[in-house]
C-alpha cells in the first residue's frame, strides 16, 4: 500500500511530496541558523579572552615588597670625641736631696710594682756619712757602758762610806747623759739612712711607665721636675667632650665603645665620671670613660666614642623604606585594599641595624621597603612580604 507524503502550503492546500517549499521560509531558517552560530562563536570568544584580560590587568600593577616592623628594643646612643689619657696619672720626681743619676732601671711601657726602683742616684758620699754616724753610735754606746759601770761600782762603795751620795748622783747624771748621746747618735744615723733611701727614685704605686726623662749622669734635685710618668694600675680613659644637652642624658656606669683614630679595633668601657661643671665658653662637659689597658690605647691620642644613654622600643626600618621631601620624612604603608598610603614619621637613632622610628608608626603596619620613589598615594599594588633574614 503506498502512502504519499503531503504537506500544507501557505494557503492551506496540500502539496505533493517533493514539491518545493516556498522560498521565503527557507531564507528564514538559514538566517536563524546563522544567528545561532554567530552567538555561540561570540560567547566562546568572550569566555576565552576574559581570563587573559584579567591576567593582563593584574600584570600591569607594580609589585612591592613590604614588612611588618613590629617594635624592637633600640639603644639610645650618643657619639663623642676626645683624648685618651691615664685614668690616674702619677708624676714621679726626686723626693730627696738629689745628686747624679747612676742608673735608670726602666723604660716606657714597662710594668713596675709598688716601691720598685726606677732609677738610682750616686750615694757614695752619703754612704760614708752613714758609716761615720754608725761609728759615733758605737762610741756613744761605749761611753754609756763605762758610765753605767762606774755608777754600779759607786753604789757598792757608798755603803762603806768611801763615796758620798753626791758622788752617786753625779755618776747617775753621767750615765744618763751617755745614754742620751747614744739616742742622739742613733737618731742621726737613722735620719741619714732614710735620706739615703730617698735618693733612689721609686714607683709610688704599681702601674705602667708612660714616660722617662732621666738619664745616667744627669744631675737632679727637688727642683728638677717630673722624671717619670706612670699610669696607676695601667688603667686608661677617654675624656669625651659632650654638649650640655647630651651630658644631661649620660649617667655613671653607661657602657661605651671607644675607637682610637687610625685603629680598626673598638674597646669596651664604661662612664665612671660625669663632669659636674660645664665650660662657660664652649658649653661642653667631659664624660670620663674607663678602659682596660691595651697597647693600642696611647695617652694623648684622639678617639671616638659611642655611649649608650638608655634604651626604648620602636619600629626599626631599613634606610630604603624612608622617603623625604619638602614636607618632611615619610614612609608608604599599604591599606586593606593594597593601596599606597603616605605616613609621616619622625626619625630616631640611626645605626648599622637600621633607622628607628620615633613617631608615626605603631609597628603593625605593612610598610613598603623599596621602590617608594616610584609610587604615588592611592596607587594599587601587588604586595609581597619580605622573607625572614632577607
pLDDT band (50, 70, 90) for residue 106: very high
Helix (H) or strand (E) holding 257: strand 255-260
Which residues make Cβ contacts (< 8 Å) with residue 321, sequence separation at least 6?
A: 67, 331, 355, 367, 368, 369, 370, 372
Q: What are phi and psi of 142, to 5 degrees?
A: -65, -45
Q: Which residue has the cell 511530496?
A: 17
Mean pLDDT value across residues 189-197:
79
C-alpha distances (whole Å) from 294 to each of 105, 138, 228 are 23, 55, 20
* Start-end of H helices in 241-290: 244-249
* Residue 353 · residue 310 · CB < 8 Å: no
Specify the range with the lowest mean pLDDT, choosing from 46-50, 72-76, 371-375: 46-50
Cβ pair 196, 97 in contact under 8 A: no
Check residue 167 and give its pLDDT: 78
Instruction: Say whether pLDDT at 58 is over 60.
Output: no
pLDDT at 46: 58
Weakest mean pLDDT among 21-25, 89-93, 213-217, 268-272: 21-25
Closest alpha carbon to 219 in 102, 91, 95: 102
Residue 42 pLDDT greater than 90, yes or no? no
CB neighbours of 243 closer than 8 A, spacing ≥ 6?
283, 284
Residue 11 pLDDT > 50: no
Distances in whole angstroms, Cα of residue 315 to Cα of each of 26, 68, 226, 322, 336: 80, 9, 56, 12, 20
% of residues, the chain, pLDDT over 70: 84
Q: Domains along the chain? A: 63-74+314-385 (2.40.420.20), 80-87+233-309 (2.40.30.170), 89-220 (1.10.287.470)
DSSP annotation of 338 reads S
Q: What is the mean pLDDT of residues 315-325?
A: 87
> What's the mean pLDDT when you consider all of the chain?
82
Angle of CA points 263, 268, 273, to nearest 5°: 115
How far apart are alpha carbons 221 and 230 in whole angstroms? 20
Confidence (pLDDT) at 14: 46
Q: Confidence class of residue 87 from pLDDT cuts 50, 70 and 90?
A: very high
CA angle (77, 78, 83) in 5-degree steps:
135
Task: Decide if pLDDT at 53 tops 50.
Answer: no
pLDDT tens digits for range 238-259? 999 999 888 888 889 999 999 9
Stretch among 101-105, 222-226, 240-244, 332-336 having the lowest mean pLDDT: 222-226
**Alpha-carbon span 118 to 193, nearest angstrom:** 19
Closest CA to 126 of 184, 186, 185, 195: 195
**Averaged pLDDT, 363-384:** 84
| Percent of the chain topping pLDDT 90 | 25
Band of the pLDDT at 23, cuts 50, 70, 90?
A: low
Using one digit for the tens of pLDDT, what is the confidence trace for 341-358?
A: 999 998 877 777 788 888
107-111, 153-157, 308-312: which has the highest mean pLDDT? 107-111
Band of pLDDT at residue 22, cut at 50, 70 and 90: low
Q: What are the two backbone dihedrals, phi and then psi, of residue 308, each rounded to the nearest 5 degrees?
A: -85, 115
DSSP bridge pairs for 115: none
Q: Is 210 exposed, middle or buried (0-12, 13-18, 19+ CB in 10 A)?
A: buried
Per-residue pLDDT averaged across 189-202, rounded?
81
The residue with cell 605616613 is 343
d(CA 299, CA 253): 22
- Find the angle CA(81)-CA(86)-CA(89) to the nearest 5 degrees: 140
Q: Virtual CA dihedral for 47, 48, 49, 55, nearest 10 degrees? A: 100
Residue closest to 63 by CA, chosen among 304, 278, 374, 314:
374
Which grid coordinates belong to 220? 737632679
Q: Which of 3, 34, 5, 40 is nearest to 19 (CA)?
A: 5
Q: What is the structure's pLDDT at 169? A: 82
Amino acid at each position: 500500500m503506498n502512502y504519499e507524503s503531503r504537506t500544507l502550503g501557505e494557503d492551506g492546500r496540500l502539496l505533493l511530496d517533493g514539491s518545493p517549499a516556498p522560498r521565503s521560509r527557507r531564507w528564514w531558517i538559514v538566517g536563524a541558523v546563522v544567528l545561532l552560530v554567530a552567538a555561540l562563536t561570540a560567547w566562546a570568544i568572550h569566555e576565552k579572552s576574559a581570563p587573559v584580560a584579567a591576567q593582563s590587568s593584574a600584570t600591569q600593577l607594580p609589585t612591592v615588597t613590604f614588612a611588618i616592623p613590629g617594635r624592637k628594643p633600640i639603644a639610645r646612643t650618643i657619639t663623642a670625641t676626645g683624648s685618651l689619657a691615664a685614668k690616674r696619672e702619677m708624676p714621679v720626681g726626686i723626693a730627696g736631696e738629689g745628686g747624679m743619676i747612676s742608673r735608670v732601671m726602666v723604660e716606657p711601657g714597662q710594668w713596675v710594682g709598688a716601691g720598685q726602683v726606677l732609677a738610682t742616684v750616686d750615694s757614695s758620699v752619703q754612704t760614708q756619712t752613714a758609716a761615720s754616724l754608725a761609728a759615733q753610735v758605737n762610741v756613744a754606746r761605749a761611753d754609756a757602758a763605762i758610765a753605767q759601770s762606774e755608777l754600779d761600782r759607786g753604789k757598792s762603795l757608798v755603803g762603806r762610806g768611801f763615796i758620798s751620795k753626791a758622788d752617786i748622783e753625779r755618776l747617775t747624771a753621767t750615765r744618763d747623759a751617755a745614754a742620751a748621746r747614744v739616742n742622739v747618735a742613733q737618731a742621726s744615723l737613722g735620719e741619714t739612712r732614710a735620706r739615703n733611701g730617698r735618693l733612689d727614685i721609686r714607683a709610688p704605686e704599681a702601674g705602667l711607665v708612660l714616660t722617662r726623662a732621666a738619664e745616667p749622669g744627669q744631675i737632679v734635685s727637688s727642683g728638677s721636675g717630673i722624671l717619670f710618668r706612670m699610669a696607676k694600675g695601667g688603667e686608661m680613659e677617654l675624656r669625651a667632650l659632650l654638649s650640655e644637652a647630651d651630658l644631661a642624658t649620660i649617667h655613671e656606669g653607661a657602657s661605651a665603645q671607644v675607637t682610637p683614630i687610625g685603629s680598626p679595633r673598638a674597646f669596651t668601657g664604661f662612664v665612671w665620671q660625669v663632669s659636674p661643671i660645664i665650660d662657660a665658653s664652649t658649653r661642653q662637659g667631659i664624660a670620663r670613660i674607663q678602659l682596660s689597658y691595651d697597647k693600642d690605647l696611647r695617652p694623648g691620642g684622639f678617639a671616638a666614642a659611642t655611649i649608650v644613654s638608655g634604651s626604648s622600643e620602636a619600629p626599626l626600618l631599613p634606610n630604603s623604606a624612608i622617603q623625604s621631601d619638602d614636607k618632611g620624612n615619610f614612609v608608604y604603608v599599604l591599606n586593606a585594599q593594597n593601596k599606597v598610603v603616605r605616613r609621616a614619621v619622625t626619625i630616631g637613632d640611626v645605626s648599622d641595624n637600621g633607622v628607628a622610628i620615633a613617631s608615626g608608626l605603631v609597628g603593625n603596619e605593612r610598610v613598603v621597603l623599596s621602590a617608594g620613589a616610584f609610587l604615588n598615594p592611592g596607587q594599587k599594588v601587588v604586595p609581597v612580604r619580605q622573607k625572614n633574614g632577607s
